[in-house]
Structure 1
Amino acid sequence: MDEALQQELQQGLRYWLLEQDICRRLLHAPRPLHTSAQLTAAEVLECHAAKSFDYRVLCLLLFRLTKKPYDEALLSFLRLDEMLVDISDDLVDYEDDVLANSFNIFRCYIQLYGREAELKLVERISSLEEQHGLLLAGLTEDMREHYWRRHREASEGQGSDRWVFPPPIYDEATYRERIRREEAQAQEVAVAVFAQSVVPTVP
């Protein structure tokens, strides 16, 4: 195992430790407008940057398996691309992540910035997109064409190429309680319907 792989695996360990610590604090401060989880922007950004370590490990392994030297320009670009994809995924999965008490950058930004969370995250996205564009310009023409082809394919759905922010949840505890109650009620209804369907009818 070379130094690059070791560093990425260390990033993975760092991510898991940070994620556990951040989510523990978020769980004990479910109302971000009233109670601080004592997060810092630095640790949230560090956790977010480390989140896709598994993809980076796979990329490095692919280079090793094909016996090609690391393409540092490509790897740097992919790192930025993964970070943007992670933000997009976090916006889509926001409610589920609140329910599961999982790391989510939008969730953390709400804790850090309250009602300005969306604006602050837009600023973060803009900064990453600017860096992303510069790194993309440094790739070969074939790589750029491949990227844009895959980007178009991934953006075929209406609105899929836009940043869509979910409504922020300012009381996570109440939200979890409501969703779990609704899920329990839905399960009771499903069981009742199933029970009726299997009861033999009397002629």
Structure 2
Amino acid sequence: MWFFQDIELQPTEEISNAFLWSRVYRQIHLALVSSKDENGIIWCGTAFPDYSEKHQTLGKKIRLLAPEENYLQKLNLNAALVRFVPDYVKLNPIHPVPQRKCKGFAIYSRYQPEQNRRQKAKRYAKRHGISVEKAQQLFPVRQNEVPYPYIQLESLTNHQKFSLFIKKDTAEEHACEGFSAYGFSKRSSVPDF
């Protein structure tokens, strides 16, 4: 049985939804990193109930899911989001996933356009006998061409800003193998409701 905890963003006239996503998701990322078990596995995944590729939006809600309730309790989101609750974030209690409302399963993964550009450049360089650096110049990445919604974040190590593009795919239910430090996976699916 899966469990979930919803976090609802509450933007104001002064504080935008995008700004809240950036600040809140940074704290969620830190909480996920801190929740690793003794084998280094993160058992909590993220979902976005209002996700829309068509409108390139994540909405105003993030859902954290785990196969056991204690994994969500270990995240201690009350402490992680203390600066935002109750003014900018509504943190709901942990509940079991309602089986009747479940539409199936989904996989949320990180899409990295720069990585795709690098792969294209390597293939092109190999086929045409030029350096990878020259080939990369032939494949520019334009942010508005990426079809997925994103969160603007800042690296905690080098303080550079980057876009965390989020891709959603429908999936079959299969055993949870763990999630990344952003709550994503290419294999572990989460209930979609």
Provide TM-score, normalisation by structure 1: 0.23
Higher strand fraction (1 or 2)? 2
Q: RCO (CA 8 Å, sep 6+): is it higher in 1 or 2? A: 2
**Larger Rg: 1 or 2?**
1
Greater per-residue helix proportion: 1
Q: How does the TM-score come out when normalised to structure 2?
A: 0.23
